[in-house]
Structure 1
Amino acid sequence: MKTYLSILILLISNLCFSQKFLDPPKLDIEDLKLTSYTKNPSEAAEVLYRSYHYYITDGELHLDVISRVKIYKKDDAKKFLEEEISTYNGKNNTNEKITSLKVNTYNLENGKIATTSVDKNSKYQSKETKNTTVTKFAFENVKDGSVLEYKYSVLSPWIYVIPRVMIEDEVPIRYCEYVFDTPKYYGYNINYKGDLKPVNQDVSERVLYGVDCRTYRFAYKDLAPYRNEKYVNNIDNYRTSVRAELNSTDFPITGSGSIYDGGIKGGFKSYGVSWGDIRKQLYDDENFGDELKRTNLVKELLPQEIKSIKDPKERATAILKFVQTQYSWNREYAAFTDKGIKNLINTKVGNSAEINLLLILLMRSADINAEPVLLSTVGRGLLTSYSPSIAMLNYVLAFTDIGGKPTLYDATSKMTLPNIIRPAALNYYGYVMTKTDAKQINVLCPGKSTTYLTVDAKLNQDGTVTGNFSDRDTQLYAMMNNERYDQDKAAYQKESYKERYTFPFTNIKTELLDNNDFQTSFDFDSDSFVDGIGGKMVFNPLLFLYNKSHEFDQTEERRSPIELYTGYDKIKKVTVTLPDGYIFENVPKSKKFRTEDSAIQYVYKVTQEGNKLTVETTTTVEDPVYPKEYYPAFKQIFDNITKMEGQVVTAVKK
């Protein structure tokens, strides 16, 4: 009986869902009357309708997009008030083009729908890089209660990879659809990622645009928001998405042989269906494989003192430092060279592929077996073993295996070390691409980074506290902070210390130490740490280092992994010396706690020697990544840390 009832409910729900594909409903005045989202009045906005329609005709890719968003709270919905469209600028007149763009704001005025169209002067183009043009526009006359709508079309010659479409958003979605229509002679992988199931789907063959086509259509209804979460490097890795990628063609005609001009040679042709196939494409490409053959360019580059280093690990590290010293990254991520390694050698500036391919060539010239690792940066998204994609690759690293110890090198930053690479490249996996093999490897930060926060303070009889403070980082943390400091010294000190600590301090000094640790120190003199109560001085023995709160405070169910870039130890050590004639009372007791598997640990250690009290805390997180199921453990541990570090101590006269 239950089975029949379930089937009946499913049939009824399908009958009730009447939205047709590519049939946007008319704007309903009732939507303009809404003042809040029914299910959750705190929502700032709601997507009423969103449609992505990709289709291929005459060897070109068309995209039609429609978006309609209800604004409930303008000040909290800034993401939707300005939009941008990125188009790719290729070589030989292969540019993507926006063929139409309409932008409207709808408001309810005197019981009727009033339309405000965006003036042409409000639209502008900003060329972000040499290969990308971004068209930006802002909605006009937006109020609480407005409905914002844009429609645009893009024409593209690039049909190899159809851009990924994100289905979920940080606000609720009433209806969203994805449609991709392609002639049958193009074969595509439809890469579907995420937990959502469409309420309506149609994967079939039919005649469209005058030819036999395959159509892929997915519709979604009443989606809950998938909000940004703290400690997630790229939330789009976990939201539901759809992406199509060409895997084969089977044309009955003869043409130029280009997959971009609609004149593909007849017969069946397969494209990158395995990582081995992609390896071959890389080595056949003049901007990758041919560049790795240019050994003559680097014969005389390395100083003899580097070539003569006996230990191969030390030699590899010296070559890394040589490239870091001599060449600079132009801040462009790439899997292929642009102007080539020869140009890099001459100009001293190049993209990430040029920098690290040169590093590989130099290592090989010094009898070190180095190979390229290809990966996708954090911003580009995760690579997957089951869905090989050359279009997802946008970064190169150097890889060695000396004495059975695999090591990664990245010369794009002046601060990297062996296995300490740019955080943008720490994206779970990459592929070592040799001339004969493609092998997946982990690309995560090994070991742990340590932060030492140290305070040596003196409590004065008038309740003021004087002392000095140092903040020292090691490993990946040292590299990350050093790079931030190197880019803008004043901004780094302001954001990290002057805005964080409101008490007076002087002699601030930031420096890279000889052992590659990174440190900031200052002196302080403050009257804000101690409360006088009944002739006693009460204060937190951690002074300004205690945790008043923490960031594992998510109340909604965790949906994404916890990503930290690196495991870490955070060690706080505060020593407070009392003035003569004073003693401590109510000294907190030492304590420690941990998870059952010791993945997260905390120690609160108190020692007293005469009129000196030292509190040392150690927070240990063993790994750079944890599954979402660990979130309650993080929350519980850090709740307890906050409670422990909120304890106070009393200083009284003898």
Structure 2
Amino acid sequence: MKQVLVIALLIMCQFLSAQDYKFGKVSKAELEEEFYPLDSTADAAYLYKYRRTYYNYRNSKGLEILNEFVYRTKIYTKEGFKYANINIPYVNPEEGESEKISDLKAYTYNIDENGKITKDKLDKDGIFDEKISKFRHLKKITMPNLKEGSVIEIQYTLKSPYLQYIDDLEFQYGIPVKKFSATIENPDWYIFAQKSKGFYAVEPVQSKYGSSFTIRSKQTIDTNYSRNNRAGGGKTSSTYYSNNKIDVTYNVNKYEAENIPALKDDEPFVSNINNYRGGIKFELVATRFPNQMPKNLSTSWDNVAKQIFKSENFGGELEKTNYFENDIAPLIANTKSNEEVIATIFEFVKRKVKWNGYLNKYTNKGVKKAYKDNEGNAAEINLMLTAMLRYAKLNAYPVLISSKGNGTPLFPTLRGFDYVISLVQFADNSYVLLDATDPYSLPNVLPTRALNWNGRVVTKDGSSSWVKLTTNKHALEENMVMVKLTDDLEVEGLVRTKLDNLNALSFRKNYNHIKEEDLRAKFEEDNNLDVEDFKIVNKENLAKPITRNVKFTSEDLIEEINGKLYIEPLLFLTRNTNPFKLEERKFPVDFTTAWKDVNKVSIQIPEGYKIEQTPEPMAIALPDNIGVFKFQVTSRGNKINTISILQFNKALIGAQYYTFLKDFYSKLVQKETEKIVLTKI
């Protein structure tokens, strides 16, 4: 096996040294390759990933950022076809300057039945433009004549007027990269911090070079001739163009790597896999323009918060109250406690203003317009909520957060926050977190998208501090099952399920819009049961847990072998597989919230049978009070009672605990799948 690996590596090195990555020069060897030599499980691979980012000046446009991209991708399997569906995000606001995609070319390469290379060009029918928000669009590309074994190539340029932003540089993906090359060139007017992310690093080769560009400007001069003035003549003017040469030094960072391994998104409980894939984030920390004083920007989290707070689209919106005063004053006039005030205003905002689906830390149309339109983005809704709570004499503050999809901000950055919620602090320093964008959220029960590590509380003077976003309230699922075994070995019974806290919110969000008969069919399919009666209670009553009552029968929960009956103590609630498969996991396990599952099962055995064997009890715990599993089976008369409790007290479990967690689940699965054995009397 070692010899095979060595040979494969030698072949790979020879192939790389001879490989031509010039656009359009796809080789027959690449097309004939049946699997990626260093990872035979890969469905596709980037044979070449190229990017160049640099600044350019044009008299018609001014200074702009150009991003040139070239990708060459090999498709090995049908599952790899998704990597031929290319999405290019770009900024295209309803008002203001837009990014532009130009020089787009793409081809699909195959080998025909005669062994010749064929080349299919992407045409306009394969290019679609999709609006994904008021600010961003997506250029969606579907490649032609795609087959297993195809190689696709695409090149394009993204031009951006947003000079203070350099897009993240990604080294690592869900598929391997054979050859990677990227160059980032920025003028020394813009000073960027470069922060590594993930577990794969590429060290840049740094250099500098000098350059210049000429700004051509039009000027008009008024000329007054004395004789014309004396003769009553008017003014005359002349026009000329001036050329101003500006010298600039560019900082260059070149990143090159070969055989970058994939980091696949196939493990459970991962909030955002891109947090752990290798790459570089760029954050503007200072500007040094000619003939101007240097300006330092987001050098600390406190500075970041202050910059955001100073915006009229953030801090300025908190000062506006006249648009809601006539509605809020009578609403809270008879409230008797702070908790009642909070609940009243919170529910009012949720009913009054619907979330439009857009995440933002800044308002778009403003709180007044959102209030009037009964619709707004996350900032408009939750800044409005904060202002109303302050109007009610409560210590309310906005909280800047990074949503789950935005990743975890690892260093001070304006782009690290994309969302805002609200906090009310009490005299004893306890607090409650509120997010009115979700109609099913409750105080201290935030929607999943908001539960991302810590948030930054911004006070009235713009100072800030961290606050934990996850709650100590466990997301609860409790099942109580009562069944009896009939003489013909069928199971008949009832199950009552209670869902509370985040589990209740998630259920309402995911299923309240689905008809009950469809939920019944899904429950039957998921649990392999025949449902006779199905009822969900408290779907709209947020003050109470969701309750689901089901009457069912099943012929598949008992196994008869040589006259003995074998039954899993938890019936259809048994956990049969360990979700953790990797030998080693470098990134944490993210459960989103602390959670607790309680299963209680009572089984009445039929006449003519006795209990021969039941599983032994078990109680195991993870280190540092992370979690616990308790399992016990008891019997009395013709009744067998089982209780199983699985509880995790932390939302995020560090990678250092992965081995313990995997072993913990292995023992749990082994215990729950042990059988109760009944024999005939």
8 Å Cα contact 2:196/2:279 also seen in 1: yes
Counterparts of 1:313-324 in structure 2, within 5 Å, are: 313-324=339-350
| Corresponding residue of 1:230 | 268
Separation in structure 2 between the aligned mates of residue 350 and residue 358 of structure 1, nearest angstrom: 10
Separation in structure 2 between the aligned mates of residue 49 and residue 252 of structure 1, nearest angstrom: 39
- Give the letter aligned to residue 282 of structure 2: A
| Corresponding residue of 1:299 | 325
8 Å Cα contact 1:484/1:492 also seen in 2: no
Q: CA deviation at 1:131?
A: 1.6
Separation in structure 2 between the aligned mates of residue 441 and residue 495 of structure 1, nearest angstrom: 42
SS, match of residue 290 in structure 1: helix
Aligned match for 1:77, one of 72, 80, 98 = 80
Aligned match for 1:396, one of 409, 414, 420 = 420
Separation in structure 2 between the aligned mates of residue 21 and residue 323 of structure 1, nearest angstrom: 60
- Give the letter aligned to residue 160 of structure 2: S
Aligned match for 2:628, one of 596, 601, 611 = 601
SS, match of residue 370 in structure 2: helix
| Corresponding residue of 2:255 | 218
| Corresponding residue of 1:409 | 434
Q: CA deviation at 1:97?
A: 0.9
Separation in structure 2 between the aligned mates of residue 61 and residue 401 of structure 1, nearest angstrom: 44
Aligned match for 1:138, one of 124, 137, 142 = 142
Structure 2 residue 387 is matched with structure 1 residue 361: yes
Q: CA deviation at 1:305?
A: 5.6
- Give the letter aligned to residue 579 of structure 1: P
Q: 1:431 to 1:652 in 2, by over 3 A?
A: same
Aligned match for 2:453, one of 423, 428, 449 = 428
Aligned match for 2:287, one of 236, 240, 249 = 249
Counterparts of 1:95-494 in structure 2, within 5 Å, are: 95-109=98-112, 110-198=114-202, 201-207=204-210, 211-228=248-265, 229-252=267-290, 266-302=292-328, 304=330, 306-384=332-410, 387-402=411-426, 403-436=428-461, 437-489=463-515, 493=519
Separation in structure 1 between the aligned mates of residue 302 and residue 345 of structure 2, nearest angstrom: 29
- Give the letter aligned to residue 607 of structure 1: T
8 Å Cα contact 1:383/1:429 also seen in 2: no
Give the fraction of aligned pairs with identical amino acids, expressed as a percent: 27
Separation in structure 1 between the aligned mates of residue 488 and residue 479 of structure 2, nearest angstrom: 26
- Give the letter aligned to residue 602 of structure 1: F
SS, match of residue 360 in structure 1: helix
| Corresponding residue of 2:619 | 592
Deviations 1:108-143 (A, max 9, x none): 233432211122211111222222221111112222
Q: CA deviation at 1:102?
A: 1.0
Q: CA deviation at 1:536?
A: 3.7
SS, match of residue 364 in structure 2: coil
Deviations 1:460-515 (A, max 9, x none): 11111111112221111111111111244469827962431222113222232754
SS, match of residue 566 in structure 1: coil
When structure 1 is superposed on structure 2, of 18-27 and 490-499 the one drifting more is 18-27
- Give the letter aligned to residue 104 of structure 1: Y
Separation in structure 1 between the aligned mates of residue 418 and residue 623 of structure 2, nearest angstrom: 39
Separation in structure 1 between the aligned mates of residue 546 and residue 524 of structure 2, nearest angstrom: 18
Q: 1:433 to 1:192 in 2, by over 3 A?
A: same
8 Å Cα contact 1:307/1:315 also seen in 2: no
- Give the letter aligned to residue 506 of structure 1: E
| Corresponding residue of 1:40 | 39
Q: Normalising by structure 2, report the TM-score.
A: 0.86
SS, match of residue 335 in structure 1: coil
SS, match of residue 145 in structure 1: coil
Q: 1:631 to 1:489 in 2, by over 3 A?
A: farther
Q: 1:518 to 1:554 in 2, by over 3 A?
A: farther
8 Å Cα contact 1:482/1:512 also seen in 2: no
SS, match of residue 162 in structure 1: coil
Q: CA deviation at 1:174?
A: 1.1
Separation in structure 2 between the aligned mates of residue 373 and residue 226 of structure 1, nearest angstrom: 32
Structure 2 residue 534 is matched with structure 1 residue 508: yes
Q: CA deviation at 1:19?
A: 10
Aligned length: 624
| Corresponding residue of 2:6 | none
| Corresponding residue of 1:610 | 637
8 Å Cα contact 2:399/2:457 also seen in 1: yes
When structure 1 is superposed on structure 2, of 207-216 and 85-94 the one drifting more is 207-216
Q: 1:416 to 1:393 in 2, by over 3 A?
A: same
The CA RMSD over aligned residues, in Å, is 2.6
Q: Normalising by structure 1, report the TM-score.
A: 0.90
When structure 1 is superposed on structure 2, of 218-227 and 83-92 the one drifting more is 83-92
Q: 1:216 to 1:491 in 2, by over 3 A?
A: farther
| Corresponding residue of 1:259 | none
Separation in structure 2 between the aligned mates of residue 222 and residue 495 of structure 1, nearest angstrom: 47
Counterparts of 1:540-579 in structure 2, within 5 Å, are: 540-555=568-583, 557-579=584-606
- Give the letter aligned to residue 52 of structure 1: R
Counterparts of 1:634-645 in structure 2, within 5 Å, are: 634-645=661-672
| Corresponding residue of 2:660 | 633
8 Å Cα contact 1:24/1:49 also seen in 2: no
8 Å Cα contact 1:298/1:365 also seen in 2: no
When structure 1 is superposed on structure 2, of 32-41 and 81-90 the one drifting more is 32-41
Q: CA deviation at 1:533?
A: 3.2
8 Å Cα contact 1:56/1:183 also seen in 2: yes
Separation in structure 1 between the aligned mates of residue 363 and residue 454 of structure 2, nearest angstrom: 22
- Give the letter aligned to residue 369 of structure 1: N
8 Å Cα contact 2:569/2:633 also seen in 1: no
Q: CA deviation at 1:235?
A: 0.5
Separation in structure 1 between the aligned mates of residue 525 and residue 121 of structure 2, nearest angstrom: 42
SS, match of residue 575 in structure 2: coil
Separation in structure 2 between the aligned mates of residue 57 and residue 491 of structure 1, nearest angstrom: 61
Deviations 1:62-88 (A, max 9, x none): 111111111122x12133121111111
Structure 1: tracts of 5 or more residues without a match: 1-13, 254-265
| Corresponding residue of 2:610 | 583
Separation in structure 2 between the aligned mates of residue 490 and residue 212 of structure 1, nearest angstrom: 66
8 Å Cα contact 1:600/1:634 also seen in 2: no
When structure 1 is superposed on structure 2, of 61-70 and 275-284 the one drifting more is 275-284
SS, match of residue 132 in structure 2: strand
Deviations 1:288-336 (A, max 9, x none): 1221110222322226463443322332233222222332211111111
Separation in structure 2 between the aligned mates of residue 252 and residue 61 of structure 1, nearest angstrom: 19
Separation in structure 2 between the aligned mates of residue 566 and residue 494 of structure 1, nearest angstrom: 27
SS, match of residue 381 in structure 2: helix
| Corresponding residue of 1:260 | none
Separation in structure 1 between the aligned mates of residue 595 and residue 513 of structure 2, nearest angstrom: 24
- Give the letter aligned to residue 50 of structure 1: K
Separation in structure 2 between the aligned mates of residue 633 and residue 105 of structure 1, nearest angstrom: 47
Separation in structure 2 between the aligned mates of residue 148 and residue 570 of structure 1, nearest angstrom: 47
Q: 1:207 to 1:277 in 2, by over 3 A?
A: same
8 Å Cα contact 1:22/1:51 also seen in 2: no
Q: CA deviation at 1:452?
A: 0.6
